[in-house]
Amino acid sequence: MSHYTTALLGLLFVVCGVSCNEQCGVLVNIDSGPVCGKVEIAENSTKYYSFQGIPYGKPPTGARRFAELEPVEPWTDLLYAYEEGPACPSRDIIYGSITVKAKGVSEDCIYANVFVPATAQLSTDELSEVSLLPILVNIHGGAFNAGSGNRDLHGPELLMVKDVIVINFNYRLAVFGFLSLASDKIPGNNGLRDMVTLLRWVQRNARVFGGDPDKVTVLGESAGAASVNLLMMSDAAKGLFNKAIIMSGTAFPSFYSTSAVYAKYVADFFLGQLGVNSTDPDEIHQILIELPLEDIMKANDVVQYNSGIASFVPVVEIEGHNYTRIIDDDPIVLIAEGRGKDIPLLMGFNQNEGETFRWLLTIMDALTRYKTNPAAILSPRLAYELSTEEALAKAELVAKRYFDGEATMDGFIKSVTDQLFQYPIIKLAQWRTLLNSAPTFLYVFSYQGDFSVIKRSNWLSYNGTGHVEDLTYVFRTTTFLRDHVSIPPQTRDDHMRDWMSTLFSNYVKCNNPTCTESDDPQWPPINQTELMYQLIKEPNVYSLSALSDEFKTMVEFCDSVDDQVRTRSETFKQQHACKMHGGILFTLVVTATTIAGLELTIDDLLQQQSPELMTDSTSSPRPDDGAISTLSGNMGSTDDVVTTTEVETTIKPSVTDENVSITTLRIETEAPTTGLTDRTESEVVSMEQNNLIETTHGLVRGFEWHTTGDIISYIDIPYAKYTKYFEEPKSSNAWETTHEVREHKSRCPQLQGGSLVGSQDCLTLSIFAPANAENVSVLFHIHESNFVQGSADPALYGPEYLVSKGLILVLPNYRLGPLGFLCLRNTVAPGNAALKDLSMALQWTKNNIAKFGGNPDTIVVSGEGTSGALVGFLALSSSSRNYFDKAITESGSVLSYWALDRNPALTGEKLTEALTKIDNSVNLETAEILTILKAAQNIHFRPCIEKGNNPFMTQTPWGMIREQEVNITFMIGSANYAGLNEALDQNEASIEQLNDDFATLLPDDLAFGSDIERQNVVRNVRSQYFIENKPITLEDHIEGLSLCFTDSCFLGPAIRTARSLANAGAKVYFYEFSFTELISESHTVDRPVEGAVRGDIRNYVFTQDGRILTEGTAEREVVDIMVDTWFTFIENGNPVANETDWNRLTVTVPAQEEWMQLGPEIGLKQGLHLSRLNLWTNIYNNYFIEMRNNVKRPNLNIYTGIVSLITYFGFRRFRIAD
């Protein structure tokens, strides 16, 4: 059982000193009613009580949407506070795959999560002060527009060991939290008012949880830190807390602006998106509270796209009568006046804050946009307060310091680090010393962990510590650490978590981080003599440091840029000035601004967190993306080396490789070796001990996989290359140095949000093998691409479940879009390049897998969706079918109409025309890849029938099946609602078209001899799925639409393919998949039907982002069933589902066909949806285009759109709320 799973019921009744009854283990009575919590286990087997999802205010819904929170309605029945509530509506591109919103999002989101050490005395009575525990209230970050108080990033376990009560909570975000109309009804700062409401709630209920209302510390990180600093200066929060901790954020408006001018710009733009033209604030308010959430969020997204992530932000409020005023003046003025100076403060920043945003800057093409508009490097405040001439002059100063004549990404990153994060903290520290403030403790966090959850969450690579990293050593990042126990510490990272949580809990309890009053403390508060900070570089090592010359120079520079700060500082002993200049640089970091002219949507950014964009050519090696249990042994890594082309490259050691020299090597482009080098027995043993494998092309080193040392990973091994865009692949070059890559980066060229992602050096594969594997079976899984996007990403196709069964997993890349599927049937683009890539990858695997411990005679190929169709093509082509003996497909078949381009010449003409419109001076051979991909955006590329030399296939799949004997064994099936996404993407226009001419819903591989035949089919299909003569609507007919798309696009073609293969001699096992326990977190819409969607099966056989489900849970039991089913098929060619034998499909009448139901009910069935599928069987028996000659095909246009829907939904499901 997981170390952090809830204790069993019996454990709940042994708790002492708390109120218990037969129904509840941990009972408290707060001011609004009784609350039932549960007992959990933290670090060092420490018991604690959790009370999650407690409402602290009435839901701000309906007429209360923009109002100050009202007291929650009291209750008398037990409130079972076992789970976190939903997060507040927002769009998050900051925290990557850390974010897990188990309860989704809702405007009903005003919930607190209280975590109490078991040493606390829970009571409703007044207790002695000695027995009360201090309280830490955590305000989450997220640029005021994202995040939540969930334990995905803010797990309390480390602090439970330290006897500190932890309270996390949600507050309103984005438009709901910070829209300002400067009116009584929508004054702005609702999110800050929520925080005040929570702090008041804490004061009223602290003693109930055994907490001391007079010892409340408020902590915040990033925007949460800015919020804490603002509350320190607010009359509304006086007396609600007595200490503060701010991490990487201050009230200095660095990445936001509190000006009314900026707030009005954002509000006007938002209202314009909604079509609200009124200037009456009461009328606007009424419109906004009546609008659906979806409409509000769509407009919110557009604002974020144009104005940046930090769009809706705190603002200086006007005086009003109907709300609590939070900010009554410019924060810079308030700080200079000494507001909040009497509150003790612990604050600090990370060494390389800006590196966390490198991926976003790269995606946004920041350098190009800066060159277009130099003022984009300034903060929002300066951008909106300075004249154009003044702004450009200030921007020139910044550019001179950070770019040295030429704009570079490293310069941008340094500017972000300095101006947005480090300078504001240092400036606040300086002003507090001059104001004789309460004790202030300053730190710089520069510990480079062996496993960084921030780097892992967005696939980043850099030296040092980026934004948010310090927070992950105070709170437990549950998403990635899962069952790992950090205390008692075993690894360096464990020791740092233990130490950081101790320093912070000491401050909460003792008013200083060391809990000592020594005359010579290891960490004293700052003073006017010299600004000293604690450099946190290694666990348990105090390093008191003075500001370096570099820091001092940076501060002086920033002081020279901001005239307002300099003016406000005249009463101090020195001129400070500046302030941070990030806003519209945060234009480029947290801002996708109108000024910079961005072309990306928020969805684009969410989908573009790919490894290729996270580093530039000068970045440091990626750290091992490892879980904590496997960190020993593989600390010293070298740079990932791509060895497929002739290139000079520098191999740089990581920071832990102090004794490794820097060398330059030249990788020659010689032909691959034909045999293995003779090695002595001792050399072979040494290679095995170091996970060295000698392939036909050179040495490859494996590394322990980041979740378990029982898996050895060999990442991004080149198996082929191509020089000309569309040519067939060639064998990759041999490499002379050992191929050593720890993390997957390789991706074939593709468009994401209008930007080029990937490179031509992409024909690679990754291998995941059991440690000490010997002659084990091999699964060669083809990633879903919808023919245009994706890569063999182990974050999506995690090896843990399958490899733990004793299999080897191989994940190959292949070319996509026009590079993979353009078919001109000539020497420029013969066609099917992607299938030829995969064929060569299979050949490489067949020739080399024995060296990795695999059995070359037991290779199984699998895929889902469009990759399932690719599996079918590989099984039928003479170029590839001899490389494997079994195949698994789900919701994708060679007989799906969308799997074959029956008119590739027309597709080629469309591409040529589109290319000419973009640039008539180039052609397909001379154009840049980006130009070709942009020209191809609205064209659908698929496998084709070739002509000429070395073709992959010269017949249609149906023709190949009919004319050859098939010796491969298949497991074929479909999700029971595979077409749901296609149904959900219908709109009013397409539904209107459908009602006008239902024939537009028919697949385009049907041909009719007359309109009478066509109308007969239309009538039969419509009566099967819909009520005749009644208009189809999305509201009333979503299930009918889903089943119609499922049967015509996925399930129907799957059973026809299975029958045809069985007739051709293949062994076929057929199934329908309907499990819903693990609906992908990346799915962005609620499912109106109960069932599985195309591609869902991936979540049941592969881990997602390395998350291994806890054994014994219902979800894990389903995973084990599916993994065992795949395993038995891979091993024996005869699948067993939950101990149920599975009979192969035999050619008989449909009512007697046997198929396996893989869902909540598992069992062998006869007759697959007879009424529905018999309809399509009869239609294809009579009207399939390859069965009819010389018939005119109707003009069917909705299915042209369905191809794009399949493309869109297939990839969209991969990464959005990750």
- Domain boundaries 1-119+129-620, corresponding CATH code: 3.40.50.1820
1-119+129-620 and 973-1212, same CATH topology: yes
Check if the beta carbon of residue 761 is closer than 8 Å to that of residue 612: no
Catalytic site residue from 140, 154, 467, 495: 467
In angstroms, rounded to a whole number, what is the distance separating the alpha carbons of residues 171 and 192? 8
Give the per-residue pLDDT at 1009. 84
Give the per-residue pLDDT at 572. 55
Regions of the chain with pLDDT less than 70 = 1-23, 93, 96-97, 99-102, 124-130, 307-309, 320-321, 363-364, 383, 517-520, 563-689, 1028, 1079-1086, 1188-1218
Give the per-residue pLDDT at 107. 95
* Residue 467: active-site member: yes
Record the tokens describing residue 949, joined without a space: 């030399």
Catalytic site residue from 353, 469, 743, 800: 353
**Cα angle 1085, 1089, 1090; round to 5:** 105
Fold of 973-1212: Rossmann fold (3.40.50)
In angstroms, rounded to a whole number, what is the distance separating the alpha carbons of residues 307 and 590? 9
Long-range CB pairs of 287-294 (<8 Å, 24+ gap) are 288/65, 288/66, 288/186, 289/62, 289/63, 289/65, 289/66, 293/89, 293/107
Give the per-residue pLDDT at 457. 75
* Residue 353: active-site member: yes
**Cα angle 163, 142, 354; round to 5:** 100
Give the number of other CB atoms < 10 A from CB of residue 66: 23
Catalytic site residue from 50, 97, 180, 222: 222
Q: State the number of CA atoms in the 13 A half-sphere of 24 facing the CB.
A: 21
SS (H, E, C) 295-351: HHHHHHHHHHHHHCCCCCCCCCCCCCCCCCCCCCCCHHHHHHCCCCCCCCEEEEEEC
- The DSSP code for 767 is E
In angstroms, rounded to a whole number, what is the distance separating the alpha carbons of residues 357 and 670? 39
Give the per-residue pLDDT at 375. 79
* Residue 222: active-site member: yes
Give the per-residue pLDDT at 367. 82
In sequence order, the 6+-apart residues with CB closer than 8 A to the CB of 905 are 824, 825
Quickly list DSSP for 68-91: PPPPPPP--S-EE-BS--PBPS--
- The DSSP code for 670 is P
Domain boundaries, the chain: 1-119+129-620, 621-964, 973-1212
- The DSSP code for 442 is E
Give the per-residue pLDDT at 780. 98
Record the tokens describing residue 10, joined without a space: 């019996």
Give the per-residue pLDDT at 584. 34
Nearest alpha-carbon partner for 424 in 538, 331, 314 = 331
Give the number of other CB atoms < 10 A from CB of residue 965: 8
Read off the pLDDT of residues 533-574 as tens digits, 9 standing for 90 and up.
999 999 999 999 999 999 999 998 988 887 666 565 555 544
CATH class for the domain made up of 621-964: alpha beta
Name the region of 954 (left: φ>0; alpha: ψ -120 to 50; beta: rest).
alpha
In angstroms, rounded to a whole number, what is the distance separating the alpha carbons of residues 492 and 1148? 64
